[in-house]
Amino acid sequence: MPSVDDLFTPVDELRLTEPSYLRNSPDIGLNEATTAFSQKTPVMALDEGSRRVFGVPPTYQMVGEVSNFGISCHLMGITVEGHAKAKKVAKHLAARAMLHKLIEKGQQSEFGIPGETKEEAHRAVDGLAFGDVRIESSNEDPVLSVAQNENYPGKLQQLCQRNKFEIPQYSYGEEGPPNDRIFTTTCKVGGQEAVGVAKTKKASKNIASQKMLAIIEKGIVEMNEEPDLDQEVDDDMNPVVDGVQCSKPPGSDAMAVLTAILADPKRFESPTQEYRILEKKCVFGLTQCLLKISYCKPGEPSQSRVHHVFPGSHTTEEVAGLINCKVAASQLSCCRDKPDVDRTSSTISVKTVLRSHFHSLKETIIECTHYQVGWWSTMVLSTKLVRRASKFIPKVTRIAIISSANFATQTDQSTNLKEVLAKKIPAHNAKVKEFRQQHGNTVIQSVSIDMIYGGMRSMKGMVTETSVLDPEEGIRFRGHSIPECQEKLPRAPGGEEPLPEGIWWLLCTGDIPTESQTSAITKEWNARADLPSHVARMLDNFPDNLHPMAQFVAAIAALNNESKFAAAYSRGVPKSSYWEYAYEDSMDLLAKLPTVAAMIYRNLYRDGSAVGVIDPKKDWSANFCSMLGYDDPLFCELMRLYLVIHSDHEGGNVSAHTSHLVGSALSDPYLSFSAAMAGLAGPLHGLANQEVLLFLNKIVSEIGFNYTEQQLKEWLEKHLESGQVVPGYGHAVLRKTDPRYECQRQFALKHLPKDDLFKLVSTLYKITPDILLAHGKAKNPWPNVDAHSGVLLQYFGLNEMSFYTVLFGVSRALGCLSQLIWSRGMGLPLERPKSHSTEGLMKLAAAAAKKS
């Protein structure tokens, strides 16, 4: 811990006055960015920072005054004061003054205060909120900015329903002692967030809802502006254009008929079709989709007109339907015998088609215009257009080119994982229902007595959608092998290994995610990462001799008080929506696990040093590495690989099966995964890589690193003849080298080929399988994942073997929790197999013998 003299020069008591740099500056509004610092109060920010940097909290004392309250704040020899008409306000003003002093003393970065300059840091501190008020200046007594009798959550809900926006989602947090609680509510609509902080949960929710109302109302005003669409298309949106020849023969499809008419050489000479599909998403779940189709006769000037024809709003699914139902085809279809017919009257068919597809759309939204200029026809379909200048539009998405006479439905590019699951789960359940109706009584396996006594090994008794373990190919995540995942899944900028966020999306949906979908998971995990204060205190108070896995299990279980699933079940939500709350808990838990694991590591092996704060610019693995204290980019790459390959391994292993079993009783994800981690802590499941390292160290201690291949063979022979095993070799299911071993070996060959311990592992890989086969010691003599992982971790300095299982647990959460979401989504029942006594099995065996 740094000494006082290293940090500060003691000064006399200071009274808080308005900083000079603010006296002539405009008011600085509350920073809505989702950074950890901006969402805290001054007292919270100072308390957390001082504990992290100095290991002690600040102290406060009352200062007697007649007209108002005075609070003095003391920290490491520095004293400052805050004065206001309310005691709590005075305390926050004192804390804010101390933060300003810390900035002046050069402690900005240590306390996590954002800003590249001191002035920016000072402004960040003055932007901190106190409950339901803004602290404007030291000589002001803040007032409530929200009228508590207003029902802003209700108004927000009505506004979202009226405009077909996403329903508001709320998440809650609380800080401080029981007598001084501060509640934080985060309100999300689409991609926008608003935060409310207050002394009560209800007030914080009201404030967050009021802020979100202001954001949405401002966005609606901007959306209602009539932009120049020609300018939007030409300058802003840069659409994809595909010019194709109309050559498709006639068919039953209206567009095909039209194509054939236009392609008739007796009427036209090589007329062209041009399609433009433009899509732009705004944060409220709305989509602006512009579909333009033009036909022009050769020799005549090509005309380009774009018209705003739908003054309403539609979801992405509705836009896809608009394209798919070929409205343009019916609109532009013409009679072969009457080429001069006025086709403007055909608009009525467009309304009919639209209404048949979208019963919920109001008639006022269904408007369409058709334009006819000689032989040139164009029709434009568009939903609500949002100006690019609006801050609510993050980017423009170009839709794939549509080929001639074919309107294809676009792949769902939503970055909202919950939204994607909401489509996939019902479709999957319908498929399962049909399958069970047809094959429900089909027998797939006979169960032997040996299977029952043998731990049900190889018994087929579970449904797991996320991964399948093939004896010859190894693990496949949703049908993709590990090499395929390494090739297809998104990577960090400049990285070579797949991101765990990508494997999470794949396990949950079965789809290879895009970079934007992967980034959305990163952003959401970073936003959900804050650890409740009671869990942090519990971890800090654990004894040094408590095993890391025991701490890990306890901390996960202690997060149960934040369970949205448990709360929803208590409210009596329908069974069909269980998966939604399991999803929310799973996302929250995954976001917090790296912080939990890092606190355990720091407390046990780094003298309790602080883990720091989540960097919103970093991915899940990079933040985890930073909190552990490792900033080597290559170690981050290893961690990404490690977390991906250990993520899932079917549903029958101890941790996955435990999670499924406990979850089948409708225990929430926190309790289910805590139980899973208790199983992982067992020596037969999660301690194998430690045993491998101990085994390697034993070899080195007896024959050193200067061994010959023959010496190593003799040592192994002697080791096996003594009745011992070779840890890291063999597998209950696999009958070849574990692909997870192979990818770690490739990483080592590329990045640490000269490491002595890696060379030992490589030599063992070369000679051990033949020796095991000769001794008849294993059905599968090939190495598994545990034969290599410890060596890589030690190379980068992570030598604490008792912590390795915690790393394994962080990774395995990806598999267990994705399985849990699908178990609740599929409505899988309570797991309740039948058991038998030995006497009962003997009777069954005797009865079977008589029948044969």
- Residue among 83, 100, 122, 731 flagged as catalytic: 731
Residues 6+ apart with CB under 8 A from 402: 242, 275, 277, 323, 408
Q: What is the 3-state secondary structure (H, E, C) of 105-174?
A: CCCCCCCCCCCCCHHHHHHHHHCCEECCEECCCCCCCCCCCCCCCCCHHHHHHHHHHHCCCCCCEEEEEE
- 233: which 2 tokens? 């298309």
Residues 6+ apart with CB under 8 A from 557: 670, 671, 674
8 Å CB contact between 274 and 242:
yes
For strands 480-481 and 376-382, give the pairing: unpaired
826/166 Cα distance (integer angstroms): 24
223/219 Cα distance (integer angstroms): 6
Listing DSSP states for 407-476 in one string gives: -PPPP---S-HHHHHHHHHHHHHHHHHHHHHHHTT----PPPHHHHHTTTTT------SSEEEETTTEEE
Confirm whether 731 is a catalytic residue: yes
Confirm whether 470 is a catalytic residue: no
824-847 per-residue burial string, b: 16 or more CB within 10 A, e: under 16: bbeeeeeeeeeeeeeeeeeeeeee
97 phi and psi, to 5 degrees?
A: -60, -40
Is the Cα dihedral 258, 263, 265, 268 positive or negative? Answer: positive
Residues 6+ apart with CB under 8 A from 44: 175, 176, 182
- Residue among 357, 547, 685, 719 flagged as catalytic: 685
Confirm whether 751 is a catalytic residue: no
Return the SS3 of 674: helix
Listing DSSP states for 739-750 in one string gives: HHHHHHHHHHHH
Which residue is it, tokens 């040093």?
609
For strands 241-245 and 272-281, give the pairing: antiparallel
Residue type, 92: H
693/260 Cα distance (integer angstroms): 72
8 Å CB contact between 594 and 612:
no
Q: How many whole angstroms from its chain centre is CA 103?
A: 34
R_g (Cα) of the chain, nearest Å: 32
8 Å CB contact between 391 and 283:
no
- Residue among 619, 648, 738, 786 flagged as catalytic: 786
Q: How many whole angstroms from its chain centre is CA 75?
A: 38
8 Å CB contact between 845 and 449:
yes
- Where in the sequence numbering do the catalytic residues fall? 685, 731, 786
